[in-house]
Every structure is written in C-alpha cells, then in structure tokens.
Amino acid sequence: MEHTEPLRNALIKPDAFLITEFDALRREIELEIKEIGDYLRYAILASGAIWAWLLSRPDSRIPHIGCSVPLVLTALLFGYTVVIRAKIFGIAKYIQRIEGLCDLPDGLGWESQFKKGFKRGNVEKWEYTTWAILGAANLAGAILVMAFL
C-alpha cells in the first residue's frame, strides 16, 4: 500500500478530480431527471392499458380489485419519483459545495444560482399537476366502476 501512495498523489490533482466529479454528478442528475419523466409516461400508459383491458372485458363484471390497480400503480410510481427528486436535490447540494470550493466569481455556478432562487422553469409544477390529474382520474374511474358496474 505504501508504494502506491506517491503514484496516487502524482496522478490525481484536486482540480482535475473536482471537475471530473462535477461532470459525473451533472450526468447523474440528467439521468435521474429523465427517469422521472419516464415513470410519469409509464404511469400514464399503464393506467390507460389497464383501464382499456378492464372495460373491454366481455363479461360486465369487473373485479373491484382490478379497478384499484391503476391508482396503486400511479401512487407507487409517484412515490418513487419523489425519492428520485430528493436524491437529485442531495446531489445538487453537494455540487453547490464543490462550486463553493472552486471560488467561482459571483453569478457563476448552476447549483449556486438555483440556491439563490433562480428558477428552472415550471417543469416540476407541471409534473406534479399531471400526477395529480392522473391519480384523480384513476380514483374517479375506480369509484365509478365500483358504483355502477
């Protein structure tokens, strides 16, 4: 172990490490954001497919448990996106620390700007609105089917 220490010190420069780590963390955030959108898309498609299958069955009796599947699936996928979003904000806080260590001039550093109140658009608001509409539609569908069929 002793013989690798000088080699490690010669190969890893703090600035290069921070830049490489910063790039890797930003890529991870991008992948996590994409995953959130994917889960929303999966919830919409799966809910539609399940409802189409349930309502197209030749026998008019739809199992009540089947009506709750789209709502439960939507709730589980939404919960997972909340966990992913918390992970993203954890990574963002760490990137803010890296930006602070780099002594950037005022006005530079994406995560530092975000902390100061810079808005990334209304994407998060629209995602939550879409999740709420999907959950409400699945709940209403389940209640209506159980009440009238």
CA distances to 31, 34, 46, 64, 96 from 81, rounded to whole Å, are 13, 11, 16, 27, 22
Would you state the pLDDT for residue 120? 59
Which among 3, 30, 4, 47 is positioned nearest to 92, based on CA atoms? 30
As a whole number of angstroms, the distance between CA 78 and CA 132 comes to: 9
> What averages of pLDDT result for each successive group of 10 residues across the chain (149 residues)?
51 72 87 93 96 82 84 96 92 81 71 60 83 96 86
Would you state the pLDDT for residue 105? 72
Would you state the pLDDT for residue 117? 55
Q: How many residues does the chain have?
A: 149
Would you state the pLDDT for residue 66? 85
Structure tokens at 91: 């990574």
Q: Is 107 left (phi over 0), alpha (psi -120 to 50) or beta?
A: left
Would you state the pLDDT for residue 12? 63
